Amino acid sequence: MRPTPSRLLNVLVPVKRCVDYAVKIRVNPQQTGVDLNVKHSMNPFDEIAVEEAVRLRELLKDEVKSIKVVTIGPTKAAETLRTALAMGADSGIHVEIPDANYGPEPLGVAKVLKAIIEREKEKAPVDMVIMGKQAIDDDMCATGQMLAGLWGTGQATFLNKLQVDPKTRVAKVTTEIDGGVEELEVKLPAVFTTDLRLNEPRYATLPSIMKAKKKPIEKLSPSDLGVDLTPILETLKVTEPPKRTGGVKVESVDELVSKLRDAGFTAVA
Amino acid sequence: MLSRSSAILSAARLGFARTYATAASPNVLVLIEHRNGAIEGGSLAALTAASELGGEVTGLVIGGPDQVGGIVEKAKKLKGLKSVLHSTSDQYTAPVPEIVSPLLEKLLGSGSAYTHFVSAHSSAAKALIPRLAARLDVPHVPDITSLSHSEEGTTFTRPIYAGNAIATVRAPASLPVKIFTVRGTAFAAALDGGDVSAEVLEPVSVSDPPTTHIKTSLTKSDRPELGAASRVVSGGRALKNAETFKSTMEPLADVLGAAIGASRAAVDAGYADNSLQVGQTGKVVAPELYVAVGISGAIQHLAGMKDSKMIVAINKDADAPIFQVADAGLVADLYEAVPDLVEKLKATK
């Protein structure tokens, strides 16, 4: 008798629409947040997560059954989903929320993701969640770990290498830590968060962008999932950081050395 | 700082605390991280931040059987601690969040006397703390740069958007435990001068953990640790390759007794190790002196170094954004300027 084939992998990739990384942000005069009438794009760490999921399928072929992307955000966040679909994801879920100065807190987002995982349990149980290590707007660096905590699964954060064995359902990873790297083995299902050096995301080609328009996106609201996204922490204000009074140039190395000496910096060796 | 906290403590002893037990008197647990037998600098800064809440502070040391003893002895001497808890298990020798979290959940879960839990914003804490917070169903506030405590709650500031905005957020008093991590460069390190008792805490054994630690590889270096160094010299893409990075930056680091850092471009191109990256996604440093060599000064890099006391930039491009934050900018070819600088610095000794 043939052994039962191991179950095929379903991958969930959460993505976030953020102010583009190259934009110099401005705090609004009311000090409630930053000016959001600027260019937005997919959080760079999430692009790496989508790329990793797509590469995983290219490597493991049919053993990756589905790649689903999910975003929580205003109407415009659908564009971010389309970008991910054009990179190679199969379908999307858009949890739509009103436009606001701040996105929901990581705890709320993790609860939404957990609810989506519960919902998928019957049709396509999620084996791997691959997501960015942090969003470049709130710089929280928390959602993946929170999701793993709520889900009760393993986690591997700040990945720079991911290898999955679909037979044993174990992932071997290398993660970036202070002062070096760490190697871990994580049983699936699990949550993985990407560091910058995991891969180089691809650009979507025009045909794939056209094709992505036909891929399905399911729309949901937080209440469909039974999650309340009201923030628990109160943001009292958002301000500009103190300005540096820099901008001084020196003419020569000699002048630089004397400036350093005046500030008390001399050679130690 | 200490006088203020002791004033509040004595007020608490006089019965003041009976009416405002939770609001007026924070009970803080601070995670003391360690590596190679030494307490991490970030945890010393976290202890200083914890003391600023004006309540009692307990230290917590977790580790393997060979690690904990020496660290507890060091922790007991730290100024500002009321006592030290320590927990030892073979599982804690190279712990992963899945293994440490259950112990903390037990300590901080319902009925816990602790009102605050603090840690450094280290890579280990970044992996552990959010998992713990979610298990306790509370939010956390990462990478704080200042804090204050009142009856309404605990208020923190933290940088967002790569440090281009500062958010002031309040964790309401109604939260059973306020969890936060501390930006090491924003607080002074706690000093020695205490003498407190230590107490054993039973470890929580985790059977069949989902994650197994295989190995840790640390970059070896005789130089000061990047995050704690008082002087940092940093190189960028203009250094061309790993060899020129080494041959240019090392003499400068040696003469100044500085740690070496790198921009993302230099790290991505393989000139320097990942762990040396300074910026939004790497280390945040705030040394006395930061020398940026061949670094243009992208937003993401500035996020990691713009709180340095004195910034020196050497760059060929007079329009590079790094010059806008530099206290001394030199427009020059780094291959001429850096060796020249090294020679002339030697003469200042």
* ipTM at complex level: 0.95
Residues of B in contact with A199 (CB under 8 A): none
Residues of B in contact with A239 (CB under 8 A): 165-166, 168
Q: A19-40 pLDDT, tens per residue?
A: 999 999 999 999 999 999 999 9
Tell me how far apart the 2 most distant CA atoms of chain B are, in Å. Answer: 69
Higher pLDDT, B136 or B222: B136
Closest CA of chain B from A63, distance in Å: 22
pLDDT at residue A49 tops 80: yes
The terminus-to-terminus CA distance of chain B in angstroms comes to 37
Phi-psi region of B173 (alpha: psi -120 to 50; beta: other; left: phi over 0): alpha
Q: A247-265 pLDDT, tens per residue?
A: 889 999 999 999 999 999 9
> A183 touching B, CB under 8 A?
yes
pLDDT at residue A88 tops 60: yes
Residues of A in contact with B127 (CB under 8 A): 145, 155, 157-158
- Verify whether the Cβ–Cβ distance B289 to A265 is below 8 Å: yes
CA distance B96 to B112: 23
Q: B45-99 pLDDT, tens per residue?
A: 999 999 999 999 999 999 999 999 999 999 999 999 999 999 999 999 999 999 9
- Verify whether the Cβ–Cβ distance B134 to A147 is below 8 Å: yes
Residues of A in contact with B171 (CB under 8 A): 232-233
* pLDDT confidence of residue A245: 80
- Verify whether the Cβ–Cβ distance B172 to A234 is below 8 Å: yes
For chain A, what is the mean pLDDT?
94
* pLDDT confidence of residue A244: 83
The answer to whether the CB of A53 falls within 8 A of the CB of A172 is no
* pLDDT confidence of residue B7: 47
What percentage of chain A exceeds 90 in pLDDT?
89
* pLDDT confidence of residue B15: 40
Please name every residue paired with B117 in a beta bridge, in sequence order, or none if there are none. B29, B179
3-state secondary structure chain A: CCCCCCCCEEEEEECCEEECCCCCCCECCCCCCECCCCCEEECHHHHHHHHHHHHHHHHHHHHEEEEEEEEEECCCHHHHHHHHHHHCCCEEEEEECCCCCCCCCHHHHHHHHHHHHHHHCCCCCCCEEEEECCCCCCCCCCHHHHHHHHHCCEEEEEEEEEEEECCCCEEEEEEEECCEEEEEEEECCEEEEECHHHCCCCCCCHHHHHHHCCCCEEEECHHHHCCCCCCCCEEEEEECCCCCCCCCEECCHHHHHHHHHHCCCCCCC
A vs B: CB pairs below 8 A: 263
Facing residue for A136 by CB, picked from B141, B162, B326: B162
Q: What is the DSSP string of B230-242?
A: SEEEEE-GGG-SH
Q: Which residues of B7-43 are buried (b: 16+ CB within 10 A; e: fewer)?
A: ebbeebeeeebeeeeeebbbbbbbbbbbbeeebbbbb
pLDDT at residue B33 tops 50: yes
Q: What angle do CA B200, B201, B207 make, to 5 degrees?
A: 135
Give the pairing type, strands A128-132 and A40-42: unpaired
Helical spans, DSSP H, in B77-122: 97-108
pLDDT at residue A235 tops 70: yes
Distances (CA, A) of A168 to A57, A163, B326: 17, 12, 54
Helix (H) or strand (E) holding B313: strand B310-315
Q: What are phi and psi of A181, to 5 degrees?
A: -135, 160
Q: B89-128 pLDDT, tens per residue?
A: 999 999 999 999 999 999 999 999 999 999 999 999 999 9
Q: B241-291 pLDDT, tens per residue?
A: 999 999 999 999 999 999 999 999 999 999 998 889 999 888 999 999 999
pLDDT category of residue B221 using cuts at 50, 70 and 90: confident
pLDDT category of residue B219 using cuts at 50, 70 and 90: confident
Facing residue for A253 by CB, picked from B161, B264, B344: B344
pLDDT category of residue A101 using cuts at 50, 70 and 90: low
Residues of B in contact with A35 (CB under 8 A): none
Mean pLDDT of A146-166: 97
The answer to whether the CB of B169 falls within 8 A of the CB of B141 is yes
**Interface mutation vs chain A, best among B123, B132, B175, B323, most A CBs within 10 Å:** B123
For chain B, what is the mean pLDDT?
92
> A253 touching B, CB under 8 A?
yes
> A199 touching B, CB under 8 A?
no
pLDDT at residue A229 tops 90: yes
Residues of A in contact with B311 (CB under 8 A): 244, 246
Half-sphere exposure of A78 (CA within 13 A, CB side): 12
Residue type, B222: D
- Verify whether the Cβ–Cβ distance B300 to A259 is below 8 Å: no
pTM value is 0.91
pLDDT at residue B1 tops 70: no
CA distance A47 to A56: 14
> A131 touching B, CB under 8 A?
no
> A262 touching B, CB under 8 A?
no
* pLDDT confidence of residue B13: 44
CA distance A59 to B198: 52
Q: B180-195 pLDDT, tens per residue?
A: 999 999 999 999 999 9
Q: B293-320 pLDDT, tens per residue?
A: 999 999 999 999 999 999 999 999 999 9
- Verify whether the Cβ–Cβ distance A247 to B329 is below 8 Å: yes
Residues of A in contact with B163 (CB under 8 A): 241
* pLDDT confidence of residue B20: 44
Of A140, A149, A156, residue with least CA distance to A49: A156
CA distance A79 to A94: 10
Mean pLDDT of B165-187: 96
- Verify whether the Cβ–Cβ distance A178 to B124 is below 8 Å: yes
- Verify whether the Cβ–Cβ distance B96 to A145 is below 8 Å: no
